[in-house]
Structure 1
Amino acid sequence: MTEAIQIGNRTITASELISLLASYQMLPHLQRELIIDEAIEQNSRSANVAICTPEEVAQAKQQFYAEKQFKNEEDIQAWMAHQGLTPEQLEVIITRKLKIEKFKQATWGNKLESYFFQSKTKLDKVIYSLLRTQDVGIAQELYFRIQAKENSFADLAREYSLGPEAQTGGLVGPIELNALHPIMVQMLSSSQPGQILPPTRIADWFVILRLEKFIPAQLDEFMKVRLLNELFETWLQEQQKQIMSAPRPEAETGRQGQGDQPLT
């Protein structure tokens, strides 16, 4: 008997399902989740990734319910019905998220400090003032007026700057250095707060910069979570690339000609 699912008036067989997942561009997401499950399974034996205490499960449930904004049992039951889930499946979803976090910690938790220091120069933040124009003559004139204190940087930025920074008197940030143009990073990283940097050509603009404040990145809890997720996503993308580049078995190639498609 062919397995099938009923959605509205349409009956979808198992052989059709893979084709539909590919058509709706959902196969990469399925592949991603399968990679995660396999990694958790492989690591659980040595790192106890799969072991969740009752206290951890209870806390994970509370967090999950809060994220979904469930107010009572009726909300939970209604959501489960909408998703087509049983209580057992809901339990799996909640504990799986917990296991993923345990897997991240077991795999990269002891590497966060070294990764942080490798990335620190990109994670540092700056607050700076910016004035940009496409006319080199105007840029030079404005620079000398600021230097001579004839006008404030903020007033001239409001009047002459051609970017959104004009709305804030040229003030930008805090913003991470990795979000800025490389030339701006070099200029700001080598300057002192309050120093006016002369007009410099960056792409189509002539920019005048002044560093207001340098904010070193800190390895606090928020940063640890962020870096842990970065390492996890980098690993996951690499796993997906390896699967996509791996040669397909002849057996799967043969089945593909009969209508089925491999997950890769």
Structure 2
Amino acid sequence: MENTDIVLRIGNQDISSVELYPLLAQYRLLPQLAKEIVVDQAISSITCTPEETTLSQQNFYQRQKIADQNQLKAWLDHHGMTPEQLEKLTVRDLKIEKFKQLTWGDQLEPYFVKCKGQLDRVVYSLIRTKDPGVAQELYFRIQEGENTFSDLAREYSEGSEAQTGGLLGPVELNTPHPKIAQILAASRPGQLSPPTPVGDWWIILRLEKYVSAQLDDNTKQRLLNELFQGWLVSQIKENVSFSSPQTPSEQEKLSVDQS
């Protein structure tokens, strides 16, 4: 007798609704599904104007290269989606952005102040060698003006920075090794730092430029995304739990045992 509960067919394999949960678990898709459901619950009360809805739909169709009804039908068939589901999908990103603004928009300035030290960027020069004697000699040669930092970096530095004359950046302060970041944060532009052990290396540093972070539109969006992702992780941890249902074979065995 044909199984009418088939929800997915892949090649010669028919997958029923009962088999779907174990497969989602097997392929580690349940956490992603849970995350999307948590997000949908959070944005369920967010509304969009007709103009916003139309624009979001147009932008979505453009990104997906949907130009006519035939392409639309092909896209829906490929994703196993109904037109009603697609309509919700086209405004989903907009609703998420509105949710972020409503939830954390007024927290951005204090959060920026808290994070600013890690958002500030630096341009710096680096020489690294595994020989402390070489590092000390190079430091004195730079300090006395016998050679430029760039020339010595190209000749003696043992990392990829040798290709740029030791120049690195601009990078955020949380990018380099924590000890390097600590030295740079305490330095003035142009200040040469003496040889310092960092892991297996001896390094010489010079801060070239300090770029203070600004709360511009890009930074605001980045901070909103960070707050949203942190919230999402906590929501999943606190409110999502998975239970393993019986597989079809277990259900059949239980049915036989009970009979």
Pairwise CA distance, 1:192: 0.9
Shift of 1:75: 4.6
CA–CA distance in 2 between the matches of 1:80 and 1:154? 58
Query: Aligned-pair distance for 1:58?
Result: 2.1
* TM-score, normalization by structure 1: 0.86
Q: Structure 1 residues 146, 91: CA separation in 2 closer, same or farther (over 3 Å shift)?
A: same
Aligned match of 1:131: 127
Any residues of structure 2 matched to 1:1-264 within 5 Å, and which? 3-5=5-7, 6-41=9-44, 44=45, 49=46, 51-68=47-64, 70=65, 72-73=67-68, 75-243=71-239, 255-256=245-246
Between stretches 73-82 and 94-103, larger displacement belongs to 73-82
CA shift digits 1:168-213 (9 cap, x unpaired)? 1101001000112221122111111111111001111111001111
The answer to whether the 8 A contact 2:22-2:247 is kept is: no
Match of 2:126, SS? strand
Any unmatched runs of 5+ in structure 1? none
Q: Give the Cα–Cα distance (whole angstroms) in 1 for the partners of residues 198 and 234 of structure 2.
A: 34
**Residues 18-72 of structure 1, C-alpha deviations (whole Å, 9 max, x = no match):** 100011111110010111112223xx2xxxx2x110111122223323433x273
Question: Taking structure 1 as reference, are residues 65 and 218 closer, same or farther at Cα in structure 2, changes over 3 Å only?
Answer: farther
Contact 2:187 2:207 in 1 (8 A): yes
Kindly name which structure, 1 or 2, has the bigger radius of gyration based on alpha carbons: 2
Deviation at 1:82, TM superposition (A): 2.3
The residue type paired with residue 15 of structure 2 is I
Aligned residues: 246
1:256 to 1:212, Cα distance in 2 relative to 1, 3 A: same
Q: Is the contact made by 1:133 and 1:160 (CA closer than 8 Å) also made in structure 2?
A: yes
SS of 2:232's equivalent?
helix
Mapped partners of 1:67, 1:229: distance in 2:
22
Contact 1:2–1:14, Cα closer than 8 Å, also in 2: no
Letter in 2 for 1:200: T
Is the alpha carbon distance of 1:181 and 1:57 closer, same or farther for their aligned partners in structure 2, counting shifts above 3 Å? same
Distance 1:85 1:256 in 2: 28
Q: Distance in 2 between matches of 1:38 and 1:204?
A: 50
C-alpha distance in 2, partners of 1:77/1:28?
29
Unmatched 5+ residue regions in structure 2?
Answer: 252-259
Matches of 2:124 and 2:71 in 1, distance apart? 48
Moved more, 93-102 or 54-63: 54-63
Contact 1:127 1:172 in 2 (8 A): yes
User: How far apart are residue 146 of structure 1 and its match?
Assistant: 0.6
CA contact (8 A) 2:100 2:224 kept: yes
SS in 2 for 1:131: strand
Cα distance in 2 for partners of 1:20, 1:96 equals 26
- State how far apart, in whole Å, the 2-side matches of 1:81 and 1:154 are: 59
* Whole-angstrom distance in 1 between the partners of 2:34 and 2:85: 20
